């Protein structure tokens, strides 16, 4: 089965050595994605604004794979501070409320102290 790698152009991918997403068959694996705007390499301070940007970045990777958020079957939310999670719920419900993928929230440190959320998704092409 051929393997396709997708890049967002983020310097992190090049410096660390990973792909924004990997497609194998009808499976799409999107790496942990933060709220950085990769075009400007800037990040908002607010966790809600970061969540919106995370989802934009994920949607762009999914689109390159021929998928949409509707194809997402698994999502992982990683936050350094569990108290920030409720502020993201309205945004996450807007993105995934009708899709209802399997989900996990993990509290863990992130690579940059400005990062307040990281989101990772798995999708199945054509599952929507």
Domains of the chain: 3-124 (3.30.1330.40)
The CA radius of gyration of the chain, in Å to the nearest whole number, is: 14
Q: What is the pLDDT along the chain (128 residues), one digit of tens a residue?
A: 789 999 888 778 889 999 999 999 999 999 999 999 988 989 999 999 999 999 999 999 999 999 999 999 999 999 999 999 999 999 999 999 999 999 999 999 999 999 999 999 999 999 97
pTM of the model: 0.94
pLDDT at residue 61, as a whole number:
96
What are the φ and ψ backbone dihedral angles of 58, each rounded to 5 degrees?
-65, -45
For residues 77 and 85, the answer to whether their CB atoms sit within 8 Å is: yes
């Amino acid at each position: 089965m051929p393997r396709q790698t997708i890049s967002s152009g983020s310097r992190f991918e090049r410096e660390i050595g990973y792909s924004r997403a990997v497609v194998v068959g009808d499976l799409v694996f999107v790496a942990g994605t933060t709220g950085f705007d990769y075009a400007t390499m800037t990040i908002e301070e607010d966790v809600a604004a970061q969540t919106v940007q995370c989802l934009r970045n994920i949607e762009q990777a999914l689109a390159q794979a021929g998928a949409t958020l509707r194809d997402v079957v698994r999502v992982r939310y990683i936050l350094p501070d569990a108290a920030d999670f409720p502020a993201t719920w309205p945004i996450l419900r807007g993105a995934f409320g009708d899709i209802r993928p399997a989900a996990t929230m993990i509290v863990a440190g992130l690579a940059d102290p400005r990062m307040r959320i990281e989101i990772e998704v798995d999708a199945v092409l054509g599952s929507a």
